[in-house]
A and B are shown apart, each in its own frame.
Chain A
């Protein structure tokens, strides 16, 4: 006993008796690397997927034929660019103000008051999600072009007007189309804030002698303010990066905005590479800052206190109850339902602009797109195949990443999480330009193949799939996995038998989101498709570009796609809301 205690090992003895120092160090490094593999490997994949093309794009904006230069940026500071910037920001602010105001008011009505039919309204307020943006844009064109617009003509007939009351082909028109399409984002964010707010905070104010109005002003509004601000920023960010409205209404109205100009400067011959890459960098910078700010605001608010209690007592609107009901009904009819009506009516009309009657409606456009159109059938097949592959790849990959980030202590896992969420700040057109720039030449010449589209969809949807997987994992008590490990289950089996089954609802929801997003993706598809690799949204956009005679066919295709995605899109959004 004493002998053993005396036999302490000196450091010299260690290095002599054990392995040579260098080999030991090498082994230690190897061990660290292999331990870090769960982080390093996906990090490398993400770097190759996202960082490499985007970094290439940013770098290329500082070069021209002769070498390193700021010429591109100098050129960008032209009247043409300033005009684009002013348009883009005007559109963004206008849409963000309207969408946030509408979203907040309707969220309050649906969550906190005794508005009649509030459950039905909650679903209706989410219904714009069911309409692809390109479909919404074309629907508004059908309805509100100055002379031919269906709704304009209806109003002129109804009130005996001389001229059309609305013109969608204008900046206010674009702002309208965009805000009624995006207000569900603001609605859902503020619904979450109102619903999770601890109602006893308001009760406490009433008990402290504050009137109902003072309580609303001093307690309710400050508590949901961060969510409203976050909603505003989010809508602004989506507005300035979205392509569909600017690429249709904006083109007809000759109002250029950033994402559309990026597309057009590449689609022209010869392509203006310098201009496109520089605009992309500017747009990327702005959206990144906005998304960062939005995350900060949402993360920083410790205000919302979640309680399990269902509110039994809602604010009574009294005599305003039916006024609010009427206002909600009118808004929903115009903003939400009318585009669907316009789209379906046009798809059934013999030609664009014909008065639709019970005698002349026709399904010939539906027949046309499947039998005569050169590539709609192929485009549908391509889109579904791409959407299926992107959704499935992402579901598997992001669940694995979420497990590493949330369940391990490996250094660098935070970076991995950030990387997976980052593409939410990268506009579709920017992804397209950077992929175009990166993969147009060897060693990886993917342009012209269908793989480039898959790549674009995977990058764009990475954050949505990851968020779904992460949220699903957050709801699984870690002790369930610990129990598996204690009972000698190997990690892979734990993953397959415990984690996967328990997170499957969230992962499936994420899969569905990616699937629908991919079916509808426009800006990246438009820049990256090649013949035989068309997608549905490319087909719709081409029909739009071909002119009025093709528009009823576009309407027919849009109707089919909207119907196919409407119900799952709304169910997913409702589920996401219920899950908090």
Chain B
């Protein structure tokens, strides 16, 4: 699937701004971002439920939408979709819900029956065919929606925050189940969510979106370990953003005139301003001993310390800046003590792109 220069404008607001995206066959791609970032609009344009203002959508080389040309309506796109509100038709039984799309492709009655049973088996709902949706739990309704979306063996499966209406425990369970079913049938999938943990757990690749634009595309680990802009760094997990100035090829002066070594290549030369990002749990904390020979130490004062059972959450003042540090419980550093923070060079990512 290919999206080229996709745009959607409502009046004066730009909901989706020049989105370019290629999704491989059988790939599980997640659009991740806060509400209002344009991810759902993008998904609904792929579905054909919203007409793009500009740009092209192709699936398997077939042009579905392009400016000027006739837009293929949703029912002709051979896609399946799972909605946030489940959208299970309340006036039809489970069987009728799943059979509805099969009737639309004019399948024979017997074939429909087998297909529906197979689909319901996949989602572990066999035996509930005659029930009405009002008799089902939220999780069961979502399984019906999933079975309905898969039943016609679509080219593409679309998910619009399908788990956000479920409670936390069920959500985690369904995450793995969804992923497993998707692997099994090997269908190209586009998944929309604002939950970064969900996106990490389920996706082959993640597209981070903000204000209608793509911020970063990559595997979950790439995005987590190597965020390329401040938005991505802060949106995915916890991140400390630390501005500094390059002094050498590998040295940065940060807050309080302290020095840090970094790895990875920086295009800019000495004197350039950079932004560093490091995860709180990658920082080590120890009592400040002057004799320490370890490099990449920042000296600071513990401002707050919270014991959380499995870890300790510190806020450490480095000059004017606060760094968040999460460590396993061990030696406890009380508030007000002077400590040294160790920042491993390979865990520091450099976000220079956004600091002109």
Contacts and interface: CB of A to CB of B under 8 A. Distances in A.
Contacts of A201: 87, 89-90
A223 B104 CA distance: 19
B79 interface: yes
Interface in B81-96: 81, 83-85, 87-91
Interface string B206-218: 0000000000000
A485 interface: no
Given A223-B91, A313-B49, A208 B101 contact: yes
Contacts of A312: 10, 50
A58 interface: no
B81 A204 contact: yes
Nearest to A313: B50
A219 to B, nearest CB: 6
B149 interface: yes
A207 B10 contact: no
Interface in A455-478: none
B271 interface: no
B22 interface: no
Interface stretch (A160-168, A270-278, A288-296, A300-308): A300-308
A198 B152 CA distance: 23
Interface stretch (A82-90, A110-118, A209-217, A520-528): A209-217
Contacts of A204: 81, 83, 87-89, 145, 148
A203 B10 contact: no
Nearest to B158: A207
A219 B79 CA distance: 19
B108 to A, nearest CB: 16
Interface string B29-68: 0000000000000001001111000000000000000000
A544 B149 CA distance: 65
B73 interface: yes
A340 to B, nearest CB: 35
A210 B148 CA distance: 13
A372 B47 CA distance: 72
B interface: dominant SS: mixed
Nearest to B84: A200
B239 to A, nearest CB: 32
Contacts of B145: 204
Interface size class of A (residues with CB under 8 A): 20 to 34
B235 interface: no
Contacts of B88: 204
B100 interface: yes
Contacts of A222: 91
Contact of B90 (A206, A209, A214, A303): A303
Given A198-B85, A303-B90, A307-B85, A207 B104 contact: no
A312 B38 CA distance: 14
B91 A303 contact: yes
A309 to B, nearest CB: 8
Contacts of A214: 104
Interface string A182-213: 00000000000000001011011111111110
A200, A204, A207 pick with most chain B CB within 10 angstroms:
A207
B134 interface: yes
A125 B218 CA distance: 54
Contacts of A210: 75, 100-101, 104
Nearest to A218: B100
A305 B101 CA distance: 22
B83 A211 contact: no
Interface in B161-209: none
A208 B83 CA distance: 12
Nearest to B81: A207
A209 B78 CA distance: 7
B134 to A, nearest CB: 5
A200 B158 CA distance: 13
Contacts of B79: 207
B100 A208 contact: yes
Nearest to B151: A208
A207 B90 contact: no
Contacts of A305: 85, 90
A interface: dominant SS: helix
Contacts of A307: 85
A211 B158 CA distance: 19
Contacts of B75: 206-211
Contacts of B90: 201, 223, 302-303, 305
A388 B152 CA distance: 64
B141 to A, nearest CB: 11
B74 interface: yes
Contacts of B81: 203-204, 207
Interface in B206-255: none
A302 B85 CA distance: 15
B105 interface: yes
Interface in B79-129: 79-81, 83-85, 87-91, 100-101, 104-105
Contacts of B85: 198, 200, 305, 307
A225 to B, nearest CB: 8
B145 to A, nearest CB: 8
A192 to B, nearest CB: 17
Contact of B49 (A206, A223, A302, A303): A206
A138 to B, nearest CB: 44
B87 A203 contact: yes
Nearest to B132: A302
A479 B50 CA distance: 41
A209 B83 contact: no
Nearest to A303: B90
A203 B78 CA distance: 14
A212 B88 CA distance: 18
A207 B91 contact: no
Interface in A107-147: none
A200 B47 CA distance: 12
Contact of A206 (B74, B84, B89, B149): B74
A223 B50 CA distance: 23
A430 to B, nearest CB: 37
Contacts of B148: 204, 208
Contacts of B10: 312
A575 B89 CA distance: 29
B87 A206 contact: no
Contact of B152 (A206, A209, A218, A313): A209
A307 B101 CA distance: 24
Contacts of B91: 222-223, 303
Contacts of A203: 44, 47, 49, 74, 81, 83, 87
Interface of B: 10, 44, 47-50, 73-76, 78-81, 83-85, 87-91, 100-101, 104-105, 134, 145, 148-149, 152, 158, 160
The 6 A-B residue pairs with the shortest CB-CB distance, nearest first, are A208-B101, A209-B104, A204-B87, A200-B87, A206-B74, A207-B81
16 contacts: A198-B85, A203-B44, A203-B49, A206-B48, A206-B49, A206-B74, A207-B47, A208-B75, A208-B104, A208-B152, A210-B75, A210-B101, A212-B73, A218-B100, A307-B85, A312-B10
Interface of A: 198, 200-201, 203-212, 214, 218-219, 222-223, 302-303, 305, 307, 312-313
Given A198-B87, A204-B87, 10 more contacts: A200-B83, A201-B87, A204-B89, A207-B49, A207-B81, A209-B78, A210-B100, A303-B91, A312-B50, A313-B49
